A and B are shown apart, each in its own frame.
Chain A
């Protein structure tokens, strides 16, 4: 991509007079296309959730202009409080083990890919991203067969969901750690080992503290992937398990749009809040 760098070319070019703007066109200036597209996209992204928020706090079904609440009431949040808390607890019961398992499995893979040379390394580097593109419905179908009728038929559905989430989340943990390890000088680790530290101790005391921000980024990404997962959970879940996306889906499917909106907004607030806190933590740790 050497052609992308045009600094040298620009320096040698003679300065030509800027042509006068063409008159007579009714079209807006070309440069307006970019902010206009951006504004359109932003409205497209924020208006539907704002409408759902209005619906969840409106004291009746109809909204003013279909967007704004006529009167504010938090009754729906009070009514659906236990269901919301239950879905948050269920999501956390799946997301936390998923994050821990992804870290324990992903960290050694990232380390091996960056630091070690071994036969099959290229293939493994490709396979790391396979769960990212593999159709979730096919993955969930295979897991459903294994855990409902197959060799793991007696295993708890919680375990099946955690394993399903872990498989699809692993690339989100492995990639940031790979990027961080590539920036850490191997001499740091070698120095610790030359002073008598075991390989594990050298890694834990010299490398791990440096890559903590990237590990936290991985944690945030895996957490976000897990708590927002709907497609895998829907096939593996049982009536007793109601994660946040499943609770939202069930509330809307039951025909209660306003209740669904309240559950959706409360769970959204929780999901986005936790991820923002993790992001802030990453920035703090980087700065420190």
Chain B
């Protein structure tokens, strides 16, 4: 009896301590998202979200899936989804490769690692807008790339047009998420005992063979986890697309499409369509997160907790 009383008391205390967090999460994230999900299934053209100031109640819902159907069938929407998935996949793949190179170098060079870490951390400390505008200027017709290729070396007939291209957003996102990829990879390679490489070399394997036959197989689950993590972080980011995407006629990604539609709400488009986009983006992201957690738990049993969240 005394033990169950203690357990009950501990439960009460715990929920009392977490109540402010739980209320914030429910009130500011979960409830609005549920309202957004409800609205995405509504045929009503009213503004506002159900139960959060909107005119709709459950009775006025006029349930429909047409907003989701239009996401999958309209060419513009299909292009947005494909751009989003394509950019995220390319950024995740490139950063996995770059992360392997830099992360391994940092893990095996303890003397240089703090300096490299400090430099690589810069993009995560500075406002993302600064990083993206820096890249915009760097690649602009008057920036150093075009200055050298066009003015100095005269290798090209006209300055390269960078803004509004797929590659522009990829480069912007590479800069934004390089910190994450490199730090995660460095942690991963620090976990692999260098003695294994020594053993492989002593058996006659070349550096290349040791790397591809010993290190990479050991690191493979970690690489997969980093890939998924960067993929979902890139999917939800829109600063690079906003600045480097070239506007509505350029390359548009899913979060930017939502942002643009919110900005033009009342002029064009419907609230329910925005909500459907929001739900699609959230579901893909949360599914990615679930895959990431499965990989990390199976492969590392939470050993990477802390560095890879």
A and B associate = yes
Q: Which B161-211 residues sit within 8 Å CB-CB of chain A?
A: 174-175, 178, 182, 191-193, 195-196, 198-199, 201-204, 206-208, 211
B127 and A45 contacting across the interface, CB-CB below 8 Å: no
B193 and A4 contacting across the interface, CB-CB below 8 Å: yes
Residue of A nearest to B28 (CB): A167
* Residues A137 and B259 in contact in the complex (CB < 8 Å), given A34-B102, A35-B105, A231-B238: yes
What does the 1/0 interface line of B1-45 toward A look like (CB < 8 Å)?
Answer: 000000100110111011011101100110011011000000000
A48 and B25 contacting across the interface, CB-CB below 8 Å: no
Q: Which residues of chain A have C-beta atoms less than 8 A from B24's C-beta? A: 105, 163, 166-167, 170
B21 and A105 contacting across the interface, CB-CB below 8 Å: yes
Q: How far is the CA of A112 from the CA of B10 in the complex (A)?
A: 9
B131 and A48 contacting across the interface, CB-CB below 8 Å: yes
Chief secondary structure at chain A's binding surface: helix
In the complex, B49 has a CB within 8 A of chain A: yes
Q: Which residues of chain B have C-beta atoms less than 8 A from A5's C-beta? A: 193
Q: Which residues of chain B have C-beta atoms less than 8 A from A121's C-beta? A: 14
A230 and B281 contacting across the interface, CB-CB below 8 Å: no
Q: Which residues of chain A have C-beta atoms less than 8 A from B206's C-beta? A: 19, 22, 30
Q: Which A28-66 residues sit within 8 Å CB-CB of chain B?
A: 29-31, 33-38, 40-42, 44-49, 51-52, 55, 61-63, 65-66
Q: Which residues of chain A have C-beta atoms less than 8 A from B28's C-beta? A: 139, 142-143, 146, 163-164, 167
B positions within 8 Å CB-CB of A: 7, 10-11, 13-15, 17-18, 20-22, 24-25, 28-29, 32-33, 35-36, 47-49, 52-54, 98, 101-102, 104-106, 108, 116, 119-120, 122-131, 133-138, 142-148, 152, 174-175, 178, 182, 191-193, 195-196, 198-199, 201-204, 206-208, 211, 218, 232-233, 235-239, 243, 255, 258-259, 262, 274, 278, 281-282, 285-286, 288-289, 299-301, 303, 306, 309
19 A-B pairs besides A4-B192, A13-B199, A40-B98 with CB distance below 8 A are A6-B196, A33-B101, A38-B101, A41-B101, A42-B119, A66-B142, A66-B145, A108-B18, A108-B20, A116-B10, A116-B13, A116-B17, A142-B35, A145-B32, A146-B53, A230-B129, A248-B127, A248-B129, A264-B130
